[in-house]
């Protein structure tokens, strides 16, 4: 049967020779690889002075997006919470009251939206599941903290600043 990847290697079933039983060629080959890596350039980055370049597909901290008018995009549909394999997202929906049209796009909004970063596996499924493009993963990584409660990000921690109120200051 033909394999899909063509990475399969045939297994050599013949008996080992005396030198192969001594493992000397294998040890010499391993020492050669070790010596080769000993003289190569190190991959260490001096962190505070130099910033490491991340991959273009790097998935960092979550962000709740706003639209052009500064209203929250999230409609509390719950698709991001359902798509999360680690069950790190919790939310509660609420109805928009009269006079709050400038705050929320739809009649329903997320009154409470929390992400537990200790459970999050940064898979990006929440970003893909969101039909309103409200959730996206930024290029920043989670900072180090001393307490567990600091890793539970609420709605105010995740929302980007309002472009209408914060741009003029």
Query: Which residues are annotated binding-site positions for [4Fe-4S] cluster?
Result: 74, 77, 80, 84, 120, 123, 126, 130
Cα–Cα distance for residue pair 80/127, rounded to 1 Å: 7
Binding residue ranges: 74, 77, 80, 84, 120, 123, 126, 130
User: Helical H runs in the chain?
Assistant: 18-22, 24-38, 79-83, 125-129, 155-158, 163-166
C-alpha dist (Å) from residue 125 to 59, 120, 141: 11, 11, 17
- Tokens coding 62: 């979550």
| Residues across the chain | 169
């Amino acid at each position: 049967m033909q394999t899909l990847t063509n990475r399969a290697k045939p297994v050599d079933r013949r008996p080992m020779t005396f030198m192969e039983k001594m493992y000397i060629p294998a040890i010499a080959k391993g020492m050669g690889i070790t010596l080769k890596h000993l003289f190569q350039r190190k991959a260490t980055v001096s962190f505070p002075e130099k910033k490491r370049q991340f991959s273009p597909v790097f998935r960092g901290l979550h962000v709740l997006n706003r639209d052009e008018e500064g209203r929250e995009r999230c409609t509390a549909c719950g698709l991001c919470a359902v798509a999360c394999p680690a069950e790190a997202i919790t939310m509660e929906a609420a109805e928009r009251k009269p006079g709050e049209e400038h705050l929320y796009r739809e009649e329903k909004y997320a009154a409470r939206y929390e992400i537990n970063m200790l459970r999050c596996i940064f898979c990006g499924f929440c970003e893909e599941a969101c039909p309103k493009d409200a959730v996206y993963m930024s290029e920043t990584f989670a900072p180090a903290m001393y307490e567990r409660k600091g890793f539970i990000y609420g709605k105010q921690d995740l929302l980007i600043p309002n472009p209408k109120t914060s741009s003029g200051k």
